[in-house]
Amino acid sequence: MEKTERLEKIKEEVLNLRESPLYAERIKNKVHPVIGEGDYDADILFVGEAPGRNEAKTGRPFCGAAGKILDELLANAGIPRDHIYITNIVKDRPPFNRDPLPEEIAVYGPFLDRQIDIIQPKVIATLGRYAMQYIMKKFNKESEIVPIGQAHGKAYEAQASYGPITIVSLYHPAVAVYNVHTKETLKEDFNRLSKYYERDRK
């Protein structure tokens, strides 16, 4: 119950986050923040950058075109979606799906930090360059940051407040929406996650 209460508190705070530069957009468009969903005891936590249009309409992460690809990639890797937790750094949709701004990441980042501390995953899988950069910096791996084209599929060992973790850098599933040829690369990278899932479920 403690995890549930603590994550619900984050949700309440984000709902009332009037100091966010994206709060007015949310109210104007009558959409929802996207806090995250999944297993509160997940071994693997996925982090994206920000919600898209479908996500803001429903309040659910990765429920649009990129979400369908994510589901396919997870299924191919043998990882049930309900056994992971998935969220974004930024909890509200930036206008026109533009990239999140530094000030937006600064406002929402502490909520992600708290989610990580509550869920205590063994593996953090970053989806896209913004998530990769944020998580690598958070866990003192800034010197190892390289372009996502070089980093995808790689694993980095790090130390969280609750113990050792592995950071796995992945392309954002949306890349396969625009370039179907990247899907095989995504499958290969996601399949590398399966060993962590299998290891932790033994």
The pLDDT tens digits for 156-202 are: 999 999 999 999 999 999 998 888 888 999 999 999 998 888 645 54
pLDDT at 181: 83
pLDDT at 12: 97
pLDDT at 202: 43
In 98-175, DSSP assigns E strands to 123-127, 155-160, 163-170
In 56-154, DSSP assigns E strands to 85-88, 123-127
pLDDT at 179: 84
Q: What is the CA radius of gyration of the chain?
A: 16
Question: What is the model's pTM?
Answer: 0.94
Which of the following CATH numbers is that of domain 2-201: 3.40.50.1360, 3.20.20.70, 3.40.470.10, 3.40.1670.10?
Answer: 3.40.470.10
**Per residue in 122-153, pLDDT tens?**
999 999 999 999 999 999 999 999 999 999 99
Other beta carbons less than 10 A from residue 81's beta carbon? 16
1 confidence band (pLDDT: 50, 70, 90): low
List the chain domain ranges. 2-201
pLDDT at 131: 97
Q: Is 169 helix (H, G, I), strand (E, B) or coil?
A: strand
**Per residue in 11-58, pLDDT tens?**
999 999 999 999 999 999 999 999 999 999 999 999 999 999 999 999
